[in-house]
Amino acid sequence: MSDPVVGYGHSEVVDSKTSSGTLSFAKVFFYMFIGLAITIAVAFGVGAAVYYALVNNPDKQLVANVYYGIMIGSAIVLIIMMLVIQFVTLRGKHSIAVPAIIYCVLMGVLLSSFTILIDWRILGLAFGITCGIFLVMTLIAVLTKGNLSPLLMIGMGLIFGGVILGIVNWLIQSTTIMWIVSFALFAAVMFITMFDIWNIKKICERGAMSNNLALYCAFTLYVDFVYILIRIIYFLVIIFGRK
């Protein structure tokens, strides 16, 4: 007969580890939504400021040129911040919080053009659809008992194939191939996102989630979310534009 005290102690350890993993997983999503909140606030804030300047400033060309310059500068610094985040994470000595926040702000500046050019109802619908898609992918990744590692290979394969087809389409200019490339890249990000969520869940279950790693995982999901959001906006603009 097994010792009930030993069994009870083992159960406490398992429960504690499970609870810790759940809290770590929740922390990753909390950080991700903070990043999204920063980006959304900056996007609408900058968009409103630029729109106000365009309406009230007689020299609209000057306002447009300044805005274009800010957008180009933001894109360049955004790439630099991405490299900084990767480098700091690999070194593992410093927090990536500051470069990640800068990245979120700059992404908001770049997305501000959407708030100027696209109906807010479309943006709201796109955000809702993206949240729904992300929720479904999270449930699949969390509830599945199998290994989702093959999704990463499938996603990378779709990206490689999409890039090749994109180069071909650049030469022949086919609308059909353009749509194939668009959906292939969209599917690739969906597969990679599900793998990312599943992989983060496994890291949390092992109890190896430091605060800096949680920030990096949140940043990874943030990038996935923003890309999916942009593609959804693109599809909705085409659909509503045709109507």
pTM for the model: 0.84
- Residue 84: its H or E element: helix 60-91
Alpha-carbon gap, residue 237 to 242, rounded angstroms: 8
Note whether 116 and 130 are within 8 A (CB).
no
- Secondary structure (3-state) at 220: helix
Q: What angle (nearest 5°) sits at the alpha carbon of residue 217, between those of residues 14 and 186?
A: 120
User: What is the spatial distance between Cα 135 and Cα 141, in angstroms, rounded to a whole number?
Assistant: 10
Contact criterion met (CB below 8 Å) for 111 and 39: yes
List pLDDT tens digits, range 11-24: 444 444 555 667 77
Contact 197, 221 (CB under 8 A): yes
- pLDDT of residue 184 exceeding 90, the answer is no
Q: Which of 176, 164, 186 is CA-nearest to residue 230?
A: 186
Residue 200 contacts residue 25 (beta carbons within 8 Å): yes
Q: Assign 6 a pLDDT band (cuts: 50, 70, 90).
A: very low
What tokens appear for 208 in the block?
């190896």
DSSP state of 187: H
CA distance 169 to 73: 30
| 100 and 58 Cβ atoms separated by less than 8 Å | no
pLDDT digits (tens, 9 = 90+) for 93-144: 778 899 999 999 999 999 999 998 898 889 999 999 999 999 998 898 888 8
Q: CA angle, corner 100, sides to 81 and 69, nearest 5?
A: 50
Q: How many domains does the chain have?
A: 1
DSSP state letter for 95: -
Higher-pLDDT residue of 25 and 45 is 45
Judging by beta carbons within 10 Å of its beta carbon (0-12, 13-18, 19+), is residue 137 exposed, middle or buried? buried
Domain that holds residue 202: 4-242
Query: Quick one: pLDDT at residue 21?
Result: 64
